[in-house]
Amino acid sequence: MRKKIVAGNWKMFNNLNESVTLISELKQELANTEVNCKVVICPPFTSLETATTLLKDSVVEVGAQNMFYEDNGAYTAEISAGMLLSVGCKYVILGHSERRTIFGENDELINKKIKKALASGLIPIFCIGETLAEREGGVTEKVIETQVKKGLEGISEEDFKKIVIAYEPVWAIGTGKTATPAQAQEVHAYIRGLLTSLYSKEAADGTVIQYGGSVKPENAKELLSQADIDGALVGGACLKAKSFTEIIKCA
Ligand code: PGA
Protein backbone atom coordinates (compact mmCIF):
# COMPACT_ATOMS: atom_id res chain seq x y z
CA MET A 1 0.00 0.00 0.00
CA ARG A 2 1.54 3.30 -1.10
CA LYS A 3 1.32 6.22 1.29
CA LYS A 4 0.53 9.41 -0.56
CA ILE A 5 2.97 12.31 -0.41
CA VAL A 6 1.85 15.91 -0.75
CA ALA A 7 4.84 18.18 -1.30
CA GLY A 8 4.90 21.95 -1.61
CA ASN A 9 7.42 23.46 -4.01
CA TRP A 10 7.83 27.03 -2.84
CA LYS A 11 10.02 27.92 -5.83
CA MET A 12 11.67 31.37 -5.49
CA PHE A 13 9.11 32.71 -3.03
CA ASN A 14 9.39 33.73 0.63
CA ASN A 15 12.37 35.38 2.29
CA LEU A 16 13.29 34.24 5.79
CA ASN A 17 10.62 36.25 7.62
CA GLU A 18 7.92 35.25 5.17
CA SER A 19 8.99 31.63 5.51
CA VAL A 20 8.66 31.76 9.29
CA THR A 21 5.17 33.19 8.91
CA LEU A 22 4.02 30.60 6.37
CA ILE A 23 5.42 27.71 8.40
CA SER A 24 3.72 28.88 11.59
CA GLU A 25 0.42 29.30 9.72
CA LEU A 26 0.79 25.83 8.27
CA LYS A 27 1.48 24.36 11.70
CA GLN A 28 -1.65 26.04 13.03
CA GLU A 29 -3.78 24.71 10.18
CA LEU A 30 -2.40 21.21 10.55
CA ALA A 31 -2.92 21.18 14.31
CA ASN A 32 -6.66 20.81 13.62
CA THR A 33 -6.30 18.45 10.69
CA GLU A 34 -6.16 14.69 10.49
CA VAL A 35 -3.17 14.00 8.26
CA ASN A 36 -3.20 10.68 6.44
CA CYS A 37 -0.35 11.30 4.03
CA LYS A 38 3.24 12.39 4.15
CA VAL A 39 3.70 16.15 3.95
CA VAL A 40 6.84 17.84 2.65
CA ILE A 41 7.68 21.49 2.08
CA CYS A 42 10.53 22.63 -0.16
CA PRO A 43 11.44 26.23 0.67
CA PRO A 44 14.35 28.12 -0.90
CA PHE A 45 17.84 27.23 0.37
CA THR A 46 17.95 30.34 2.59
CA SER A 47 14.98 29.10 4.64
CA LEU A 48 15.84 25.40 4.91
CA GLU A 49 17.56 25.42 8.26
CA THR A 50 14.85 27.56 9.82
CA ALA A 51 12.21 25.27 8.35
CA THR A 52 13.72 22.08 9.75
CA THR A 53 14.15 23.75 13.15
CA LEU A 54 10.57 25.03 13.27
CA LEU A 55 9.19 21.69 12.05
CA LYS A 56 11.22 19.50 14.36
CA ASP A 57 8.29 17.83 16.11
CA SER A 58 5.84 18.19 13.27
CA VAL A 59 4.53 15.76 10.65
CA VAL A 60 5.89 18.09 7.99
CA GLU A 61 9.24 17.11 6.50
CA VAL A 62 11.59 19.35 4.55
CA GLY A 63 13.10 19.10 1.10
CA ALA A 64 15.28 21.25 -1.13
CA GLN A 65 14.47 22.31 -4.68
CA ASN A 66 17.78 21.32 -6.24
CA MET A 67 21.37 20.26 -5.50
CA PHE A 68 24.65 19.56 -7.29
CA TYR A 69 26.22 16.12 -7.56
CA GLU A 70 29.73 16.88 -6.28
CA ASP A 71 30.60 16.77 -2.55
CA ASN A 72 32.36 20.14 -2.61
CA GLY A 73 34.78 22.12 -4.74
CA ALA A 74 35.01 25.15 -6.99
CA TYR A 75 31.35 25.17 -8.07
CA THR A 76 30.26 28.71 -7.35
CA ALA A 77 26.69 29.00 -6.05
CA GLU A 78 26.06 25.26 -5.97
CA ILE A 79 24.79 23.29 -2.94
CA SER A 80 25.79 19.70 -2.16
CA ALA A 81 23.79 16.79 -0.79
CA GLY A 82 25.89 16.89 2.37
CA MET A 83 25.02 20.54 2.89
CA LEU A 84 21.32 19.76 2.58
CA LEU A 85 21.61 16.89 5.04
CA SER A 86 23.49 19.12 7.47
CA VAL A 87 20.46 21.41 7.77
CA GLY A 88 18.03 18.53 8.21
CA CYS A 89 16.66 18.04 4.69
CA LYS A 90 15.18 14.68 3.83
CA TYR A 91 14.01 15.20 0.24
CA VAL A 92 15.31 16.98 -2.83
CA ILE A 93 13.37 17.91 -5.98
CA LEU A 94 15.43 17.04 -9.07
CA GLY A 95 14.75 17.64 -12.74
CA HIS A 96 11.95 20.13 -12.28
CA SER A 97 10.83 21.47 -15.66
CA GLU A 98 11.91 24.99 -14.68
CA ARG A 99 15.43 23.65 -14.09
CA ARG A 100 15.29 21.84 -17.42
CA THR A 101 13.98 24.74 -19.50
CA ILE A 102 15.30 27.91 -17.82
CA PHE A 103 18.62 26.51 -16.54
CA GLY A 104 19.35 24.00 -19.26
CA GLU A 105 19.48 20.87 -17.12
CA ASN A 106 19.49 17.72 -19.20
CA ASP A 107 18.74 14.07 -18.48
CA GLU A 108 22.43 13.19 -17.96
CA LEU A 109 22.91 15.90 -15.34
CA ILE A 110 19.68 14.96 -13.60
CA ASN A 111 20.78 11.30 -13.56
CA LYS A 112 24.04 12.25 -11.80
CA LYS A 113 22.12 14.30 -9.25
CA ILE A 114 19.66 11.47 -8.55
CA LYS A 115 22.53 9.03 -8.02
CA LYS A 116 24.28 11.42 -5.65
CA ALA A 117 21.10 12.10 -3.69
CA LEU A 118 20.52 8.35 -3.28
CA ALA A 119 24.12 7.67 -2.28
CA SER A 120 23.84 10.43 0.34
CA GLY A 121 20.56 9.30 1.82
CA LEU A 122 18.33 12.03 0.41
CA ILE A 123 15.04 11.03 -1.22
CA PRO A 124 14.89 12.40 -4.77
CA ILE A 125 11.58 13.72 -6.07
CA PHE A 126 12.34 13.09 -9.71
CA CYS A 127 10.25 15.30 -12.03
CA ILE A 128 9.26 14.39 -15.56
CA GLY A 129 6.70 15.71 -18.01
CA GLU A 130 5.97 16.73 -21.57
CA THR A 131 5.51 20.19 -23.07
CA LEU A 132 2.33 21.29 -24.83
CA ALA A 133 3.96 20.90 -28.24
CA GLU A 134 5.02 17.36 -27.35
CA ARG A 135 1.53 16.46 -26.16
CA GLU A 136 -0.08 17.94 -29.26
CA GLY A 137 2.51 16.16 -31.38
CA GLY A 138 1.43 12.86 -29.86
CA VAL A 139 4.84 12.08 -28.36
CA THR A 140 4.00 12.29 -24.64
CA GLU A 141 4.82 8.65 -23.96
CA LYS A 142 8.03 8.80 -25.96
CA VAL A 143 9.19 11.89 -24.04
CA ILE A 144 8.32 10.33 -20.68
CA GLU A 145 10.07 7.11 -21.65
CA THR A 146 13.27 8.95 -22.53
CA GLN A 147 13.22 11.07 -19.37
CA VAL A 148 12.59 8.02 -17.17
CA LYS A 149 15.17 5.78 -18.84
CA LYS A 150 17.91 8.39 -18.94
CA GLY A 151 17.13 9.77 -15.50
CA LEU A 152 17.26 6.31 -13.94
CA GLU A 153 20.18 4.94 -15.95
CA GLY A 154 22.52 2.82 -13.85
CA ILE A 155 20.29 2.94 -10.77
CA SER A 156 19.74 -0.44 -9.08
CA GLU A 157 16.29 -1.68 -8.13
CA GLU A 158 17.18 -1.38 -4.46
CA ASP A 159 18.05 2.29 -4.90
CA PHE A 160 15.16 2.91 -7.27
CA LYS A 161 12.71 1.91 -4.55
CA LYS A 162 13.67 5.02 -2.57
CA ILE A 163 12.77 7.44 -5.38
CA VAL A 164 9.57 9.47 -5.62
CA ILE A 165 8.45 10.36 -9.13
CA ALA A 166 6.50 13.51 -9.96
CA TYR A 167 4.66 13.63 -13.27
CA GLU A 168 4.22 17.28 -14.14
CA PRO A 169 2.96 18.11 -17.62
CA VAL A 170 4.86 21.33 -18.39
CA TRP A 171 1.75 22.90 -19.95
CA ALA A 172 -0.07 22.55 -16.63
CA ILE A 173 2.59 24.13 -14.40
CA GLY A 174 1.62 27.57 -13.16
CA THR A 175 -0.86 27.98 -16.00
CA GLY A 176 -4.08 27.16 -14.21
CA LYS A 177 -4.58 24.38 -16.76
CA THR A 178 -4.70 21.02 -15.07
CA ALA A 179 -4.58 17.69 -16.79
CA THR A 180 -7.99 16.09 -16.37
CA PRO A 181 -7.94 13.27 -13.82
CA ALA A 182 -8.32 10.82 -16.73
CA GLN A 183 -5.44 12.39 -18.69
CA ALA A 184 -3.20 12.31 -15.63
CA GLN A 185 -4.18 8.75 -14.69
CA GLU A 186 -3.41 7.58 -18.20
CA VAL A 187 0.16 8.88 -18.02
CA HIS A 188 0.64 7.66 -14.45
CA ALA A 189 -0.42 4.16 -15.47
CA TYR A 190 1.95 4.36 -18.43
CA ILE A 191 4.82 5.39 -16.11
CA ARG A 192 4.06 2.51 -13.75
CA GLY A 193 4.10 0.11 -16.67
CA LEU A 194 7.42 1.51 -17.79
CA LEU A 195 8.85 1.07 -14.29
CA THR A 196 7.60 -2.52 -14.28
CA SER A 197 9.53 -3.22 -17.45
CA LEU A 198 12.66 -1.43 -16.20
CA TYR A 199 12.63 -2.97 -12.72
CA SER A 200 9.83 -5.25 -11.49
CA LYS A 201 6.13 -5.18 -10.75
CA GLU A 202 6.88 -5.11 -7.06
CA ALA A 203 9.16 -2.08 -7.40
CA ALA A 204 6.72 -0.27 -9.72
CA ASP A 205 3.76 -0.99 -7.44
CA GLY A 206 5.67 0.43 -4.49
CA THR A 207 6.66 3.67 -6.21
CA VAL A 208 4.94 6.90 -5.25
CA ILE A 209 4.05 8.83 -8.41
CA GLN A 210 2.89 12.35 -7.63
CA TYR A 211 0.96 14.56 -10.02
CA GLY A 212 1.92 18.21 -10.36
CA GLY A 213 0.63 21.13 -12.39
CA SER A 214 -1.93 23.61 -11.05
CA VAL A 215 -3.12 21.33 -8.26
CA LYS A 216 -5.59 23.28 -6.12
CA PRO A 217 -8.12 22.44 -3.41
CA GLU A 218 -10.84 22.41 -6.11
CA ASN A 219 -9.25 19.72 -8.26
CA ALA A 220 -7.10 17.80 -5.76
CA LYS A 221 -9.74 15.35 -4.60
CA GLU A 222 -10.53 13.96 -8.00
CA LEU A 223 -6.89 13.83 -9.09
CA LEU A 224 -5.82 12.12 -5.88
CA SER A 225 -8.54 9.51 -6.12
CA GLN A 226 -7.12 8.08 -9.36
CA ALA A 227 -5.61 4.62 -8.96
CA ASP A 228 -2.06 5.56 -9.93
CA ILE A 229 -1.86 9.09 -8.51
CA ASP A 230 -0.09 8.89 -5.18
CA GLY A 231 0.14 12.49 -4.11
CA ALA A 232 0.80 15.93 -5.43
CA LEU A 233 3.69 18.29 -6.05
CA VAL A 234 2.08 21.66 -5.46
CA GLY A 235 3.45 25.03 -6.55
CA GLY A 236 1.20 28.09 -6.36
CA ALA A 237 -1.35 26.60 -3.97
CA CYS A 238 1.27 25.69 -1.36
CA LEU A 239 2.10 29.34 -0.73
CA LYS A 240 -1.05 29.74 1.35
CA ALA A 241 -1.34 27.57 4.45
CA LYS A 242 -5.09 27.15 3.99
CA SER A 243 -5.06 25.94 0.40
CA PHE A 244 -2.08 23.64 1.00
CA THR A 245 -3.89 22.14 4.00
CA GLU A 246 -7.06 21.64 1.92
CA ILE A 247 -4.99 19.64 -0.58
CA ILE A 248 -3.44 17.61 2.26
CA LYS A 249 -6.96 16.80 3.45
CA CYS A 250 -7.84 15.49 -0.02
CA ALA A 251 -5.02 12.98 0.31
P1 PGA B 1 1.95 24.82 -9.91
O2 PGA B 1 3.48 24.27 -9.85
O3 PGA B 1 1.19 24.04 -8.86
O4 PGA B 1 2.06 26.28 -9.56
O5 PGA B 1 1.45 24.57 -11.27
C6 PGA B 1 3.77 22.93 -9.70
C7 PGA B 1 5.26 22.70 -9.77
O8 PGA B 1 5.92 23.38 -10.56
O9 PGA B 1 5.82 21.84 -9.06
pLDDT at 1: 79
Nearest CA to ligand 1 atom 2: 235
What three-state secondary structure class fits 71?
coil
pLDDT at 151: 98
- Cα 56 to its chain centre, rounded Å, is 21
Cβ-in-10-Å burial (0-12, 13-18, 19+) of 133 comes to: exposed
φ, ψ for residue 229 (rounded to 5)?
-100, 115
Instruction: Summarize pLDDT for 229-238 with one digit per residue, the tens.
Output: 999 999 999 9
CB atoms within 10 A of CB 101: 12
CB distance 64 to 45 below 8 Å: yes
pLDDT at 153: 98
pLDDT at 233: 98
Active site residue 222: no
CB distance 86 to 122 below 8 Å: no
Q: What is the mean pLDDT of the chain?
A: 97
Active site residue 105: no
Q: What share of the chain is helix, strand, coil (3-state, %, to 5)?
A: 50, 15, 35
Q: Which residues on adjacent β-strands are paired with residue 165?
A: 126, 209
- Confidence tier at 53 by pLDDT (50, 70, 90): very high
Cβ-in-10-Å burial (0-12, 13-18, 19+) of 189 comes to: middle
- What average pLDDT does the segment 151-158 reach? 98
Ligand 1 centre to CA of 4 (Å) is 17
Among the atoms of ligand 1, which is closest to the Cα of residue 11? 8
CB atoms within 10 A of CB 209: 24
Instruction: Summarize pLDDT for 95-150 with one digit per residue, the tens.
Output: 999 999 999 999 999 999 999 999 999 999 999 999 999 999 999 999 999 999 99
**Percentage of residues in the chain with pLDDT exceeding 70?**
100
pLDDT at 178: 86
Cβ-in-10-Å burial (0-12, 13-18, 19+) of 154 comes to: exposed
Nearest CA to ligand 1 atom 1: 235
**Percentage of residues in the chain with pLDDT exceeding 90?**
97
Ligand 1 centre to CA of 72 (Å) is 30
pLDDT at 176: 85
- What average pLDDT does the segment 82-88 reach? 98
Q: How far apart are the first and last CA of the chain?
A: 14
Instruction: Summarize pLDDT for 157-193 with one digit per residue, the tens.
Output: 999 999 999 999 999 998 888 889 999 999 999 999 9
Ligand 1 centre to CA of 227 (Å) is 21
- Mutation to probe ligand 1, out of 97, 168, 171 (largest number of atoms < 8 A from CB): 168
CB distance 51 to 41 below 8 Å: yes
pLDDT at 234: 98
